[in-house]
Structure 1
Amino acid sequence: MSSGITLSASTRQNLLSLQDTAGLTATTQNRLATGLKVSSALDSPVNFFTAQNLSNRSTDLGGLLDGISNGIQAIQAANQGITSIQKLIDSAKSTANQALSTQITTTGTATSDFAASTTSSTTVNFYVNGVTKSATIASNATIDAAITALNSAAGTNVTMFSKDTTGKKIVLNASSAVEFKATGDQAALGFAQGTTSTANKYGSSNDAISAGSDLTVSGVDARKKLSEQYNSLLTQITQLAKDSSFNGTNLISNGDSSNKLHIAFNEKDSSNLDVQGQDLTADGLKLTSITGNSGSSVNGQGNFLLDTDIKGTLTKLGSASDTLRSASSTFGSNLSVVQNRQSFSKNLINVLDTGAANLTNADLNLEAANSQALSTRQSLGISALSLANQAQQSILQLLR
């Protein structure tokens, strides 16, 4: 429907030009206000949806960074635990070596002169480091014959029994713990009788009595205290391993196949890493406590009594150290991988965000220049429209 108003061609052209300028000005002002050249699919469908996909992936990877960061901390907690456990292992080695260097001796000279039975042979039962020994002394045996029987029963390459300078009393000088089964065994050799109320030095399985006043057993109690220190260190190893957790994840207190740390590196979890946990407690390291008895059968030995047992313990400690070094190397390798993927993910997120921004962000410098140009263009358009209307104004002057 016509408005009934007739405009000249030049006037209409100037009006259209002003309308175009106004539209461009509105677009430029919107870009300056939002900072975006593509703010909806209407502006550029390809750029809009491509940028949206890039931003969505960036967001997904950003969500995975928290899991990666937690994984790094869990591995570092495990590695810190291994470092501290190794220090405890070193302390245990020092304790065992101290026990090994502590000499065990049993020394003393019999209070009474030796006198063999005149009616029958006598059997003397005693223990050398918890091992049962039995010596038969013939009736009317001389002190030399008795000493020979005792040393033969002891079965050592070193002479444990001898006689004093008077040639009448038996002397015991052994680099081991020697105890007698009964007071009669001590009396048969002329030694002062001990008591049955005092527990023997090396365990509770053997029915032994304490040394009498003329015998001194040294080193056994010292080794026993060192064994207690060793056991305490094993307890600390287990407790430390169980405390080496982060956010509920502990990689060194359980070697079960279900104890693993799963870290996803991409949004589809097609790229990931499983860090298998290990049992680095005392039991997992195959370190056993030193008890009053050792071996598969109870024999009264233990508490670091035998040098061979201590050396066996040191061998186990060496194996435990090797296990810790291997575990540390494994966790260190896994940590390097996870840290590398963390850095990669951060850089990839930056690339994705930059790519999305390149597709949608406006060049504010360019838009500012466009705004100034459009303002000038609008002013010129208004001036042109004014000039186009001057002919009609001339006619108005004639009518006046």
Structure 2
Amino acid sequence: MADITLSVGVRQSLAAIKSTTTAQQQQQLKLATGKRVNSALDNPVNYFTSSGLSNRARDLSSLLDSIGQGVKVIEAADKAIKALTKLVESAQASARQALQSTSTTPKVTGANTTPLTGATVLSSAGAGAFAVGDTITVNGTTILTFAAGDDVNDVINNINTNTTLNPSGGPLKVQASLNAQGQIMIEALDGAALTVSGSAAAKVSTLFGGATLTAATNTNTTRKDAAAQFDALRTQIDQLAADSSYNGINLLDGGSLKVQFNEVNTASVTISGVKFNATGLSIAASTNNWQSDKDINDALGNLTTAITKLRNQASTFGSNLSVVQTRQDFTNNLIDTLETGSDLLVLANQDEEAAKLVTLNTRQQLASTALSLATQSEQSVLRLF
């Protein structure tokens, strides 16, 4: 079949209709998506620039979740430190309450009126005029066999370091010292009976000022109960520290946290955890049922150290939290900027695009009318027949 020849007017009208239809479809797509650039064909530069900005915004958005979880890990540790501080303060209260009860530990204290010094030689008359071979015994254990030159310091040191009286690795049970009056004092820190004797009783009596050289067992139940309460609080400290984890990370049980701040991992912060159980805080268990002031004061010293550690670590975590929250806010703002910049490159002006579509619809109608007029000129030929 031979090709059908159309007049110039009809072809021009059809071309106008086709062009207008294509333009209508593009405008309809812009209105439907809200974007004036929907593919690289529309505007390659804007399209790829916008895609890059959007991709980075999405990458940063995924990081925000991990940053937010990092904030929660630090907050959990901070709350745990506050709770631990309250427990340590309760332990301090128990120790101070125990101190209010007068110590009743067995003691042998010299009554000599001529003060001794650590350098006083035992062979001197004021110290008992010990002879070579004379012995001094505490609770049945010989702590010194006199040799020329031995002095008061030797007696004190030998008592404090004797592994029978004070077993290695355990708390000090028998303590000797020289008080402000220059008198030797021996104290049974655990409340057990105390006896001081020697091969020459008169010499031992002179050395210890003629005081009574025996002291019966004596347990202060108030202090014992306070020590038990202290140990119970110490157990609670261990349990609380172990329960301070968030999402499997416990900054108070030796864990650590790394928070990544950008999509290429070139900016991050690593938060090192601590071991804040009773041992990590240097809070030792009560010794000798707190029968002596020494043991209670030692415990109070440990508790003061623990409070200082907790406060310092709280400050460190607070600084870390500030950094992470600042980066979290910055990332949120940066995402908004990236998304806004991306939208500026591709979003359509809905009013303008709608007006263009209305114009195209009008042109479509005009083109259809023009096609109708063009065909009418050909139809006039039929009148000749």
Common fold, TM-score beyond 0.5? yes
Task: Give the secondary-structure state (helix, strand or coil) at the position aligned to 1:61.
Answer: helix
**Change over 3 Å in CA distance of 1:221–1:380 after alignment to 2:** same
Aligned to 2:69: 70
- Residue 325 of structure 1 pairs with residue 325 of structure 2: no
**Change over 3 Å in CA distance of 1:22–1:124 after alignment to 2:** closer
* 1:29 CA drift (Å): 1.7
Instruction: Judge conservation of contact 1:135–1:149 (CA < 8 Å) in 2.
Output: no
Instruction: Judge conservation of contact 1:125–1:133 (CA < 8 Å) in 2.
Output: yes
Counterparts of 1:69-148 in structure 2 under 5 Å?
69-105=68-104, 129-130=187-188, 132-134=194-196
Deviations 1:213-233 (A, max 9, x none): xxxxxxx12111111111111
* 1:6 CA drift (Å): 4.2
Instruction: Judge conservation of contact 1:124–1:134 (CA < 8 Å) in 2.
Output: yes
- Residue 152 of structure 1 pairs with residue 188 of structure 2: no
* 1:352 CA drift (Å): 2.0
The percent of aligned pairs where both chains have the same amino acid is 41
RMSD: 3.2
Aligned to 1:194: none
Instruction: Judge conservation of contact 2:37–2:46 (CA < 8 Å) in 1.
Output: yes
Using the alignment, how far apart are the partners of 1:307 and 1:356 within structure 2? Answer: 73
TM-score, normalised with respect to structure 1: 0.68
Counterparts of 1:263-282 in structure 2 under 5 Å?
263-282=259-278
- Residue 44 of structure 1 pairs with residue 27 of structure 2: no
Deviations 1:22-41 (A, max 9, x none): 11011112222333332222
Deviations 1:113-166 (A, max 9, x none): xxxxxxxxxx99889641755369x99x9xxxxxx9798255xxxxxx7xxxxx
Task: Give the secondary-structure state (helix, strand or coil) at the position aligned to 1:266.
Answer: coil
Using the alignment, how far apart are the partners of 1:106 and 1:27 within structure 2? Answer: 98
Deviations 1:91-128 (A, max 9, x none): 01100100111013489xxxxxxxxxxxxxxx998896
Deviations 1:289-318 (A, max 9, x none): 113xxxxxxxxxx22222233222212211
Instruction: Judge conservation of contact 2:261–2:268 (CA < 8 Å) in 1.
Output: yes
Task: Give the secondary-structure state (helix, strand or coil) at the position aligned to 1:71.
Answer: helix
Aligned to 2:227: 227
- Residue 378 of structure 1 pairs with residue 374 of structure 2: no
**Change over 3 Å in CA distance of 1:23–1:66 after alignment to 2:** same
Unaligned runs of 5+ in 2: 107-135, 140-173, 175-185
Moved more, 46-55 or 325-334: 46-55
Instruction: Judge conservation of contact 1:234–1:289 (CA < 8 Å) in 2.
Output: yes
Using the alignment, how far apart are the partners of 1:106 and 1:243 within structure 2? Answer: 39
Deviations 1:352-394 (A, max 9, x none): 2232233233333322222211111111122233334444444
Write the letter of the residue equivalent to 1:134: V
Using the alignment, how far apart are the partners of 1:55 and 1:201 within structure 2? Answer: 79
Aligned to 2:253: 253
Aligned to 2:28: 29
**Change over 3 Å in CA distance of 1:129–1:23 after alignment to 2:** same
Write the letter of the residue equivalent to 1:305: Q
Instruction: Judge conservation of contact 1:79–1:328 (CA < 8 Å) in 2.
Output: yes
Instruction: Judge conservation of contact 2:67–2:324 (CA < 8 Å) in 1.
Output: yes
Task: Give the secondary-structure state (helix, strand or coil) at the position aligned to 1:273.
Answer: strand
Moved more, 34-43 or 69-78: 34-43
TM-score, normalised with respect to structure 2: 0.71
Task: Give the secondary-structure state (helix, strand or coil) at the position aligned to 2:5.
Answer: coil
* 1:48 CA drift (Å): 2.2
- Residue 57 of structure 1 pairs with residue 56 of structure 2: yes
Instruction: Judge conservation of contact 1:135–1:153 (CA < 8 Å) in 2.
Output: no
Using the alignment, how far apart are the partners of 2:23 and 2:331 within structure 1? Answer: 40
Task: Give the secondary-structure state (helix, strand or coil) at the position aligned to 2:258.
Answer: strand
Aligned to 2:297: 311
Write the letter of the residue equivalent to 1:236: Q
Using the alignment, how far apart are the partners of 2:206 and 2:46 within structure 1? Answer: 105
* 1:179 CA drift (Å): 3.0
Using the alignment, how far apart are the partners of 1:125 and 1:240 within structure 2? Answer: 44
Using the alignment, how far apart are the partners of 1:2 and 1:48 within structure 2? Answer: 47
**Change over 3 Å in CA distance of 1:238–1:6 after alignment to 2:** closer
Using the alignment, how far apart are the partners of 1:317 and 1:125 within structure 2? Answer: 33
**Change over 3 Å in CA distance of 1:42–1:94 after alignment to 2:** same
* 1:396 CA drift (Å): 3.7
Write the letter of the residue equivalent to 2:196: S
Task: Give the secondary-structure state (helix, strand or coil) at the position aligned to 1:245.
Answer: coil
Counterparts of 1:144-223 in structure 2 under 5 Å?
152-154=209-211, 179-180=215-216, 200-201=217-218, 220-223=220-223
Task: Report the count of equivalent residues.
Answer: 305
* 1:64 CA drift (Å): 1.4
Using the alignment, how far apart are the partners of 1:130 and 1:105 within structure 2? Answer: 10
